[in-house]
Amino acid sequence: MAASLARLNGAAPVHHARRVGDRRTARAVHYAMLCPTLLLLLAFLVIPAIYVGWLSFNTSTYGQDVKFVGVANYAQLFADPIFWRAFCNTFFVVNGIVYAELLLGLGLALLLSGPLPGKALIIAVILAPYAITESSGIVMWRYMFEPDVGMVSQFLGRLGLAQLDWSTNPVQTLLLASTIAIWHHLPFTFLILYAALTTVPRDLLEAAEIDGATRWQQFRFITLRLIMPAILIAVLFRYIFAIRTFAEVWLLTEGGPARLSEVLAIYLYREMFKYHQFGMASATGLFMLVMSLVIALPYLRRMYREVMRGA
């Protein structure tokens, strides 16, 4: 009907055709511009991921032919108590790191979003760990907490307090590893939340205050809701990165003593680089990928809803 009317008044179909053509041209250009990125993703993520998936159904090591074994690697993986211990350790470490970072990052961002003397210096101090190479930072912490001779150990000793028993107690190993991870990655969460807080309109908060809202109500019903997408992004990214936690535990104890503080990334590392069991390592890697997806999905869904609500 619209097309007939357009045909009747002459000029309209030309405009319509041009609009359709423009849209088509724009799409082709978009795809062309996306192509390099997509090709890179394909080459460095998708194809290797497919290869890892295929390898997880085979046995493979240096100097030997690849042999199809079906789900044997997964069966071996799920039957290994060390794997489940590593899974549990990873679960607790990851959740501890992510939520501690979120609370700390949010607290600091809220504190610094208002007027505060020496704000620039405090922000610089918070961001400083990000400028330190991860391995250097971890080794520094390790030396500080070295039994008998570490600075912190000696200080605690002088105060008559017990030293942190991280080299023999797996719970304390994981606590120290988590603390180091939080120290090192806090700037990431802080920056995202701090940036989000600066976008919250002041007049909205002032209007709420005039309407009689308490500070807590202003935070809960205005600030928190407005920065929720940023919180979701911070949590999602940190979850995905934290699942791969490796260096903190490896450089402290290599997962010891007796593999009691091992996390999944170390389990994978041993299978891959120590035992050269590439099939088992691939199965572990794929399991970690699925784990990341399972964790990410609810957050992604929530983010999608938030975005759609705003659209």
Binding footprint of other proteins on the chain (CB under 8 A): 61-64, 146-149, 165, 167-168, 252-254, 256-260, 270, 273-276
Give least dist CB 148 to other proteins, A.
Answer: 6
* DSSP count for the chain of H helices, then E strands: 15, 2
Give least dist CB 62 to other proteins, A.
Answer: 4
Residue with smaller CB distance to other proteins, 62 or 216: 62
Token representation of residue 32 = 């062309």
3-state secondary structure of 68: strand
| Dihedral sign of CA atoms 303, 308, 310, 311 in order | positive
Instruction: Quote the strand ranges of the chain, DSSP E.
Output: 58-59, 67-68
Bridge pairing between strands 67-68 and 58-59:
antiparallel
Give least dist CB 243 to other proteins, A.
Answer: 23
Give least dist CB 260 to other proteins, A.
Answer: 8
- Helix %, strand %, coil % of the chain (to 5): 80, 0, 20
Residue with smaller CB distance to other proteins, 165 or 306: 165
Give least dist CB 275 to other proteins, A.
Answer: 5
Residue with smaller CB distance to other proteins, 244 or 276: 276
Q: Name the phi and psi angles at 148, rounded to 5.
A: 70, -50
Token representation of residue 184 = 């090192």
Give least dist CB 141 to other proteins, A.
Answer: 14
Whole-Å CA distances, 43 to 29, 241, 309: 22, 21, 35
Give least dist CB 165 to other proteins, A.
Answer: 8
Residue with smaller CB distance to other proteins, 134 or 146: 146
State the first-to-last Cα distance of the chain, in angstroms, to the nearest integer: 30
Residue with smaller CB distance to other proteins, 53 or 256: 256
Residue with smaller CB distance to other proteins, 87 or 190: 87
Query: What residues contact 31, with CB distance under 8 A and at least 6 apart?
Result: none
Closest C-alpha to 246, from 187, 185, 181: 181
| Residue in the structure block whose two tokens are 């940190």 | 238
| Rounded Cα–Cα distance for residues 293 and 302 (Å) | 14
Give least dist CB 285 to other proteins, A.
Answer: 17
Residue with smaller CB distance to other proteins, 23 or 274: 274
Whole-Å CA distances, 96 to 116, 176, 207, 245, 246: 29, 12, 37, 12, 15
Residue with smaller CB distance to other proteins, 276 or 302: 276
